[in-house]
Structure 1
Amino acid sequence: MKYILLILTLQFAVAVEAQKKGELVEIADHFSFTEGPVADARGDIYFTDQPNNRIWKYSASGELIRFLEPSGRANGLAMDNDGWLVACADENNEIWRIHPETREIEVLVGTYAGKPLNGPNDLWISSSGNYYITDPYYQRSYWSRTSAELPEALYMYQQGKLLQVDSNFVRPNGIAASPDERKLYVADIGDNKTYVYDIAENGALHNKRLFCDRGSDGMTTDKKGNVYLTGDGVFVYTPQGALLRHIKVPVKWTANVCFGGKESEYLFITASEKIFKIYPDW
């Protein structure tokens, strides 16, 4: 499979660094719908503009660069242990690995049991190299199909094999893990709930239980283990499931979050046509 890559390195004027903790700063606003932020080892942020079929990069020094176009309609992103960008590319229901310098693309998976995935949405990759992927069905205008062939489920990609580990969801979406990688959080946005699993040493998931009565689009955790859910702004929960605070974001929908910057000091927020950052004061 060949992909023609249009690599543009347009640099845009962006917002200055936040001066005060707790201040929400708008970085840019010229997108259609932002999603999937993830930080690399330098603290640079990659994120997607899914309707426009682009992946962007916002460097820790403040440069905003168009990284990859077309991007397979990439949605959620993660970084693997080799420093490659991993994308939920739902144009053809695939998981991609993308080299950060050459933009070389490797298609890892696109089917399960001989059937096309629904449309991989978000993922988390453990330090041992296990991928955990949510696969809901959101009808896309660029698809010829009009129905799913598989249940909306959570998958694990391990040592080159895709395993369906839980199909008991209405619509799984956001996914994140605790800092010690002992717990995995998965949001069921279709049922307005978020669940938590225990992660065994071999990567298997056990003891699924309710974390809170709130669903989420994308999500992340911080160094203290607090859990960040999205939708109407950002909701921050303690590791015990108590609501800590609500970050209001002045857009219709807040899609995803991640920590980045030179010291991982900023929370980056992809929200509708914009991207923001905030220096947490909690």
Structure 2
Amino acid sequence: MKHNIRFQEFKGDTQCLQLPFYTEGPVADAGGNLYVTNLQGGQILRIGKDGTVDEWARSSCPNGQMIAANGDHLICDSVEACVKRFDQHGRFRAAAIAGRVGHYNITCPNDLVSDGNGGFFFTDSVRHTGVVVHVDRSGSARLIAEQLDYPNGIVLDHKRRRLYIAESYQNRIVMINLQQHTGAADVFCNLPQHPSLQETANLPDGLALDSYGNLWVAHYGMSCIWKIDPGGSHQEKMDTDILLTSNVFLNNDRVLITGGQAEPGPGYVRIIQT
């Protein structure tokens, strides 16, 4: 996978789609089709290899999305307070998780990532008291981290040892060491602040990891992507030309960036061939 992508290579834009609604949840299937969600539009959209866009499935407010090993799509629905499972043809199968996990009532699932063993981790985006949940392959759920200030994007490193989470309202990335887990999340790095110092002008959102361990961060209010080295220190910035940049997804030699001019819209999807 060509994931050590230099920001100057982003000049190779192949497509920039404008859609009616703000977009999120970028993923790609084994056949090369791309998928995004559009939250208030209630749609999961499929973008074919020829650039055509069609409605693949519907949900009340679809947000983060992942594709499981069997081709199923798991999609966070922030209104229905659950993670839904759809088959590879876009047919709703069942809720993968809803209700309570221990003492916590699931409120606003936002983003999710495979655990590499048939289960997944997801964030529940609540101010000050948000959580990260692990659901194993049998459907058993447990809290991994609590008391986070709007946990948002989430990604697991390639060795399945470290879980990175965007803590949006603290403008930082936190990290959970899954091998030495104590129930607490450590600060991996703080992100640059918007000159206005307003909280909503920051808000790190979706995350991705390249094959060299660099963390890519969609900075919602800063209209950019940051690439951060594995030590959490060196940061490179790329302006996305999307005012509200929601997420980033790396797929072989393509980069997908989602977001929009405003919420509920219009939305954008940038598909960049590197």
TM-score, normalised on structure 1? 0.79
2:217 paired residue among 218, 229, 254: 229
Give the secondary-structure state (helix, strand or coil) at the position aligned to 2:40.
helix
2:140 paired residue among 161, 164, 185: 161
RMSD: 2.3
In 1, the alpha carbon distance for the partners of 2:123 and 2:155 equals: 11
Amino acid across the alignment from 1:96: K
In 1, the alpha carbon distance for the partners of 2:225 and 2:61 equals: 24
Give the secondary-structure state (helix, strand or coil) at the position aligned to 1:155.
strand
Do residues 276 (structure 1) and 270 (structure 2) align? yes
Q: Any residues of structure 2 matched to 1:92-111 within 5 Å, and which?
A: 92-101=80-89, 103-111=91-99
In 1, the alpha carbon distance for the partners of 2:250 and 2:81 equals: 27
Structure 2 unmatched ranges of 5 or more: 1-7, 192-202, 261-266
Amino acid across the alignment from 1:155: V
2:190 paired residue among 207, 213, 217: 213
* Residue in 1 that maps onto 2:113: 124
Q: Is contact 1:44–1:60 with CA below 8 Å preserved after alignment? A: yes
Q: Is contact 1:197–1:209 with CA below 8 Å preserved after alignment? A: yes
Task: Report percent identity of matched pairs.
Answer: 21
* Residue in 2 that maps onto 1:76: 64
Q: Any residues of structure 2 matched to 1:51-200 within 5 Å, and which?
A: 51-69=40-58, 71-101=59-89, 103-112=91-100, 113=102, 116-137=105-126, 151-158=129-136, 159-200=138-179
Structure (1/2) with the larger strand percentage: 2
What is the Cα deviation at residue 102 of structure 1? 5.2
In 1, the alpha carbon distance for the partners of 2:211 and 2:110 equals: 24
Amino acid across the alignment from 1:157: V
Amino acid across the alignment from 2:88: P
Q: Is contact 2:145–2:185 with CA below 8 Å preserved after alignment? A: no
165 and 102 in structure 1: CA distance in 2 versus 1, 3 angstrom threshold: closer
What is the Cα deviation at residue 205 of structure 1? 7.2
Task: Name the stretch that deviates more: 58-67 or 249-258.
Answer: 58-67
* Residue in 1 that maps onto 2:38: 49
Note the alpha carbon deviations across 1:42-89, whole angstroms, 9 max, x for none: 3322110111110111234433221113x1311000111211000001
Structure (1/2) with the larger helix percentage: 2
Q: Is contact 1:179–1:222 with CA below 8 Å preserved after alignment? A: no
Structure 1 unmatched ranges of 5 or more: 1-19, 139-149
242 and 114 in structure 1: CA distance in 2 versus 1, 3 angstrom threshold: closer
Q: Is contact 1:235–1:243 with CA below 8 Å preserved after alignment? A: no
Task: Name the stretch that deviates more: 50-59 or 60-69.
Answer: 60-69
Q: Is contact 1:200–1:206 with CA below 8 Å preserved after alignment? A: no
In 1, the alpha carbon distance for the partners of 2:116 and 2:239 equals: 32
Give the secondary-structure state (helix, strand or coil) at the position aligned to 1:218.
strand
Note the alpha carbon deviations across 1:152-172, whole angstroms, 9 max, x for none: 111111221221121131111
TM-score, normalised on structure 2? 0.81
